[in-house]
């Protein structure tokens, strides 16, 4: 997947740019966003350690095959399958399955149950809620003191889960399936950070807590963490696939949006609701003008606008109907060392992009204004 992918056609996300921090299933998420009209900026914030090369997973597997635990908690289907396949590659597959047949095997949800049964095993129990909290409650109610419990980790922190088991007297063996490391190429991550801070993206999606933590860590390394947090707190929407993914952001005081079902499809649907709801809609010169990230909708028609034009349009929209001086518009343009002629050039291109020149009026010797229709304003604000 390239760093940046353009949308095809219109859709609920037309005119918006969305950053994707995922390493795994990034193509799938990007395609879902593009089909709904979004431009996608892909910046994998981490990379996955190949299972066959993961010495920590090999050590944990040997620990389990040498001495079977009392309980094994399987948390994800892809992680469980990958673990069994890696064990096969190390010549430990048969003995691992033999050990797992003799233990109390708990599955977090139906997908994990399917992976367990595909391996020829049978789970002892699985929560209807797919919640690790329910798994923890069951274990603590049974009593864990003196028991040896293996927990398949999947690169995600399990807040309080391991700590609660250890506090109850259990010996916990972590099985680190799919550990994360920073990306080898930091260029895409840096471009995403620059775009977020400059409000060049409208939303950033997170599908794992390690990706969120990695992006924040890189921002801190570059000395731009305060600016990133300010952007995520106001203008750039942070969208997480679920509450565990949101933990690193919430630790920095960033509020996130999350779908009710923790899947990629519902995450994209949530963006389809949230981003258009945040767009500015104005009645201007007999038209309906909707201002989105890198484009405007004029009477429902998508009109891509160059970055300089969007800067001017946003400056005008902050005070619709009022004259905005050329000097103020000049300050709104990206870059430095410009003169007022740059405003005229960018304004001409903006008018061409909008396809309706009368939306913006020139006020001689003063500046420009959006030709707001006050009489029809209520139609857009009341419903």
Instruction: Clarify whether residues 246 and 339 are in a common domain.
Output: no
Instruction: Clarify whether residues 24 and 72 are in a common domain.
Output: no
Q: What is the CATH number of the domain that holds 244?
A: 3.40.50.10090
* Whether this model's pTM surpasses 0.75: no
Instruction: Clarify whether residues 55 and 174 are in a common domain.
Output: yes
**C-alpha distance from residue 44 to each of 66, 114, 228 (Å):** 37, 29, 17
pLDDT tens for the 383 residues of the chain, in order: 445 554 445 789 999 999 999 987 889 999 999 999 999 999 999 888 777 788 989 999 999 999 999 999 999 888 899 999 999 999 999 999 999 999 999 999 898 999 999 999 999 999 988 888 899 999 999 999 999 999 998 755 566 899 999 999 999 999 988 777 889 899 999 999 999 998 889 999 999 888 999 999 999 999 999 999 999 998 999 999 988 889 899 999 999 999 988 889 999 999 999 999 988 899 999 899 999 988 999 998 999 999 899 999 999 999 999 999 998 999 888 775 567 788 999 999 999 999 988 899 999 888 999 998 875 544 444 33
Count the domains in the chain. Answer: 3
State the Cα–Cα distance between residues 100 and 116, nearest whole angstrom: 10
Task: Decide the pairing of beta strands 4-5 and 180-181.
Answer: unpaired
Instruction: Clarify whether residues 202 and 304 are in a common domain.
Output: no
Instruction: Clarify whether residues 267 and 325 are in a common domain.
Output: no
pLDDT at 60: 94
pLDDT at 53: 81
pLDDT at 336: 55
Q: Which of 230, 261, 278 marks a domain boundary?
A: 278
Instruction: Clarify whether residues 157 and 139 are in a common domain.
Output: yes
pLDDT at 226: 97
State the Cα–Cα distance between residues 70 and 68, nearest whole angstrom: 7
Q: Which of 278, 305, 328 marks a domain boundary?
A: 278
Q: Which of 178, 195, 230 marks a domain boundary?
A: 178
Please choose, from the candidates 292, 312, 313, 311, the residue with its C-alpha nearest in 3D space to the C-alpha of residue 301: 292
Residue 314: which domain range?
280-381
Instruction: Clarify whether residues 345 and 253 are in a common domain.
Output: no
Instruction: Clarify whether residues 72 and 116 are in a common domain.
Output: yes
Tell me how crowded residue 175 is: count the other CB atoms within 10 A of its CB: 23
């Amino acid at each position: 997947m390239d760093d940046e992918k353009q949308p095809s056609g219109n859709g609920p996300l037309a005119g918006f740019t969305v950053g994707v921090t995922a390493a795994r299933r990034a193509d799938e998420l990007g395609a879902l966003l593009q089909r709904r009209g979004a431009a996608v900026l892909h910046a994998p914030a981490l990379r996955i350690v190949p299972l066959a090369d993961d010495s920590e997973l090999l050590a944990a597997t040997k620990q389990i095959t040498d001495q079977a635990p009392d309980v094994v908690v399987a948390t994800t289907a892809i992680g469980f399958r990958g673990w069994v396949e890696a064990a096969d590659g190390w010549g430990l597959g048969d003995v691992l399955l033999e050990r797992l047949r003799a233990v109390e095997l708990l599955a977090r949800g139906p997908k994990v149950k399917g992976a367990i049964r595909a391996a020829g095993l049978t789970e002892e129990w699985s929560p209807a809620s797919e919640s690790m909290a329910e798994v923890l409650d069951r274990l603590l109610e049974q009593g864990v003191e003196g028991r040896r419990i293996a927990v398949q980790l999947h690169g995600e922190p399990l807040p309080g889960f391991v700590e609660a088991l250890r506090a109850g007297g259990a010996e916990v063996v972590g099985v680190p399936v799919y550990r994360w490391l920073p990306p080898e190429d930091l260029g895409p991550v840096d471009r995403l950070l620059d775009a977020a801070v400059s409000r060049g993206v409208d939303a950033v999606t997170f599908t794992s807590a390690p990706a969120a933590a990695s992006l924040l860590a890189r921002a801190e390394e570059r000395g731009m963490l305060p600016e990133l947090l300010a952007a995520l707190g106001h203008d750039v929407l942070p969208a997480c696939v679920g509450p565990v993914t949101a933990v690193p952001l919430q630790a920095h005081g960033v509020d996130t949006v999350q779908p009710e079902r923790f899947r990629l499809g519902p995450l994209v649907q949530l963006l389809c609701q949230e981003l258009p709801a945040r767009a500015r809609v104005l009645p201007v010169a007999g038209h309906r003008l909707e201002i989105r990230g890198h484009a405007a909708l004029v009477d429902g028609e998508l009109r891509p606008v160059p970055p300089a034009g969007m800067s001017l349009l946003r400056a005008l929209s902050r005070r619709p109907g009022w004259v905005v001086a050329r000097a103020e518009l000049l300050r709104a343009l990206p870059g430095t060392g410009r003169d007022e002629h740059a405003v005229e050039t960018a304004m001409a291109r903006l008018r061409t992009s909008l396809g309706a020149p009368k939306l913006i009026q020139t006020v001689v010797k003063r500046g420009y204004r959006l030709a707001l229709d006050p009489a029809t304003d209520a139609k857009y604000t009341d419903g």
